[in-house]
Amino acid sequence: MRVAVLRVTIAIGTALMGGLALFAEEGAIDALGSATLPSLEQRLAEIDEQLDELAQPSLRGGIGAIGFRSSSHKSGDHTEWIKIDLGREYTIDQVVLAPLLWRDSKQGFEADAFPISFRILAGTDGDSNGTVIANYPSTAHLLPRIAPLVVPVKKGTTASWVRIEATQLAARSFDGRHVFQLSEVLVFSGDENVALRQPVTASSNHIERLQRTWGSRFLTDGNLPYLMDGALGKKSVAYVSQPAQNPSLTVDLGESILISGIHLHAVEQSDTVPQAHPGNFGIPLHLKVEGANDPGFLDATELLDFQFDSFDDIGSIMMWSFPETRCRYVRITDANPEQELFQIGFAEIEVLAAGRNVALGKPISGTGTLHPATRSFGVLTDGFNLYGEILPVRTWMNQLALRHDLEVERPRVIAELSARYAKQRATLKYAGWLIAFMLAGGIILVLIQKAARQRAIFETRERIAANLHDELGANLYAIGLFGNLAKQEVEEKNDNGKWSKLMEYTDAVCALTTETGATARYCTNLLAAKDLYADLSGEMKRMADRLLADMQHTLTITDDEIIRSLSPRRRNGLFRFYKECLTNILRHSGATRVQTILSADSRNIRLRVTDNGSGIAGLHTPPSLKRRARLLGGKVNVESPEEGGTRITLKVQPKKLLNFGSWL
């Protein structure tokens, strides 16, 4: 827990001295706009994590002193100032301004009449003019706020006085008059508030009827408008004694220490509305604090003797400083002789040495008896109050200031993230449309290319058909013509029949030429056809007749309509598979009889080729048939029927697509 507080404190110090309040400045929008999306997301996570560890700006209730207010003016073009005499020279490093708070009926609490522009000067006794240590030409970027304003001071600055000059006054809420007002001013040298209860002079003072709640002395009395509401630590109920005459509490610091201040945390107000008491419960009207090194206080030194004249001197945390005194024991006493019985009580007692609480965790004792068993002496030095861990005043002020900066920054980061996400969604939408257009364009391009390829194929086929018809047909016709002429010449001169063998050869040449011409015409017609293998049944029959002319063969086809409905590629694949089967039979089987059955239904196309040849060794499917079946997307099976020979069966689904290799 202490480590967490230390980590937050270090972060706060780094932030404030390095000017981390980036997004509260005028360049915030530019800084957000130039940040990357991951850095914005990381920054939002960091803000949320820090907010969980920072003190809450809980506000005091009840009655009490308000702070300082100058004379009022009709316009803001006046300069008002306050000057704090520190008593001696200190090396200061931070000034904290607690604004005066006003309850707005719509906006809630907000700083009232915080200067529109101001500057802070510091100097020593020999320097009446001083040096400007901070200048705010405009405070627009600091408002609205209820948190204190932390002003870092250049390292090594030495001062015995600090002056705050409001160079442009703001209008107060209830009547629009222009004033300079603050609740509290703290000047830190390390962890010590050296301005605590130091004398204050001002250019003017509030002179209205409620003078007792306004005054320059309230600027340094240590009574802040906030409750110590730490984010970490456990809750601790305040100590309250049984009624007794002049009750006292004694803290044993464990060793003799040079101490210089004391903070008394009042018993917490009830959380009801309205409150149960005005806030002075447990606080002696005449408070006396003594220090000693002897446990019996035989060598007692008076550290503080304070008379509470009114509720104006009472706050949630009452702070005093005194000359450094070396002692081990500190005793707090109700010194009011006129009060017979009194219940003394506090939430915490802090004894300070150089701004550090040396009473933390130290034993404590008191006169009289405890109130209930739960309100033990130990709660007075356990470091906790009803809200959580009690922080050093400087750390507390810094956490409240940092929380304000982060809470201002957070919605800006969220807004920028929302804008980025919206831009991303729009970009994705445009990208989606672009992809759709590109996809459509790609499809159109593919179709155009496919059409171009088909056109090129058709043109090539037409050229081949034309060449076959014109060149090959003409040549074959010329060969046939010369054959006939040769035959005629032989017949005229063959008077004794000695050229009869030549006549047979000439007849064979003429017959072969006629047959080749018919084949060329068939190929020409086939290439010129617009729908290749449209009549698959007829093509298969003609091919079988040519290849199996010397064999007994049959071809049976059922449901020719389904076969005609197949795509050209499918019909081409079936034709080539069948041709490969017949070629294998001619080359290897030695068969004399071939039977082919091509059947089709809505589920399968089945091609079965059976021969009575020598069969296939091991019934291994020939690689050429495997390849053709794969291109068709079908399955091929080789078996040997009972009567001998080979049976090849191909099964193909009618609607299964083929790849482009089926053309091969």
- How far is residue 100's CA from residue 235's CA, in Å, rounded to a whole number? 29
* pLDDT score of 538 more than 50: yes
The pLDDT of residue 17 is: 40
Question: Stretch 497-523: mean pLDDT, rounded?
Answer: 66
Per-residue pLDDT for 89 more than 80? yes
Q: Which of 17-31, 72-86, 108-122, 329-343 has the lowest mean pLDDT?
A: 17-31
**pLDDT of 632 higher than 50:** yes
Contact criterion met (CB below 8 Å) for 402 and 19: no
DSSP 482: H
**3 state SS of 371:** coil
Return the number of other C-beta atoms located less than 10 Å from residue 27's C-beta: 11
* Confidence label for 206 from pLDDT (cuts 50, 70 and 90): confident
Rg (CA), the chain: 54
552 φψ region: left (φ > 0), alpha (ψ -120 to 50), beta (else) = beta
With contact defined as beta carbons under 8 Å apart, do 214 and 67 qualify?
yes
Stretch among 77-81, 84-88, 449-453 having the lowest mean pLDDT = 449-453
198-212, 358-372, 423-437, 528-542: least confidently modelled range = 528-542
pLDDT per residue as tens digits for the range 127-186: 989 999 999 999 999 999 999 999 999 999 999 999 999 999 999 998 999 999 999 999
pLDDT at 576 over 80: yes
Give residue 486's pLDDT.
72
Number of other residues whose CB lies within 10 A of the CB of residue 431: 11
pLDDT at residue 459 is higher than 50: yes
CA-nearest of 73, 21, 110, 36 to 417 is 36
> Mean pLDDT, to the nearest integer, of 48-73?
90
Quick one: average pLDDT of 258-280? 81
**pLDDT at residue 527 is higher than 60:** no
Q: Over 80: is that where the pLDDT of 394 sits?
A: yes
**Res 297 pLDDT > 80:** yes
pLDDT at 19: 42
Residue with tokens 């101490």: 259
Are 193 and 319 spatial neighbours (Cβ–Cβ below 8 Å)? yes
Q: Which amino acid is at 358?
A: V
Q: Is the four-CA dihedral 17, 19, 21, 24 of positive or negative sign? A: positive
542-552: average pLDDT: 83
Q: What is the mean pLDDT of the chain?
A: 84
Q: Which of 306-320, 331-345, 480-494, 606-620 has the lowest mean pLDDT?
A: 480-494
Q: When comparing pLDDT for 279 and 578, which is higher?
A: 578
For the stretch 243-264, pLDDT in tens is: 888 899 999 999 999 999 999 9
Question: Cis peptide leading into 144, omega within 30 of 0?
Answer: yes
Q: What was the pLDDT predicted at 212?
A: 73
Q: What is the pLDDT of residue 21?
A: 42
pLDDT of residue 501: 63
- State residue 20's pLDDT score: 40
Least confident of 49-58, 382-391, 425-434, 511-520: 511-520
DSSP characters over 404-447 = HHHHHHHHHHHHHHHHHHHHHHHHHHHHHHHHHHHHHHHHHHHH
Residue predicted with more confidence, 230 or 472: 230
Cα dist. 431→37, 368, 421, 458 in Å?
19, 80, 15, 40
What confidence score (pLDDT) does residue 479 get? Answer: 72
Find the range with the poorest average confidence among 91-100, 194-203, 248-257, 447-456. 447-456
* pLDDT score of 662 more than 50: no
H-type alpha helices, 254-320: none
Residues 6+ apart with CB under 8 A from 659: 631, 633
Q: How confident is the model at residue 224 (pLDDT cuts 50, 70, 90)?
A: very high
pLDDT band at 10 (very low <50, low <70, confident <90, very high): very low
pLDDT for the residue 468: 61
Lowest mean pLDDT among 188-197, 519-528, 578-587: 519-528
pLDDT at 210 over 70: no
| 553 pLDDT higher than 70 | yes
| Residue 220 token pair | 């340094």
Q: Is the pLDDT of residue 406 over 90?
A: yes
For residue 1, what pLDDT band results from cuts at 50, 70 and 90? very low
Separation between Cα atoms, residue 200 and residue 186, nearest integer Å: 12
Here the contacts of 103-110 (C-beta below 8 Å, separation 24 or greater) are 104/173, 107/144, 109/59, 109/146, 110/143, 110/144, 110/145, 110/146
pTM comes to 0.67
Q: Is the pLDDT confidence value at 498 over 70?
A: no
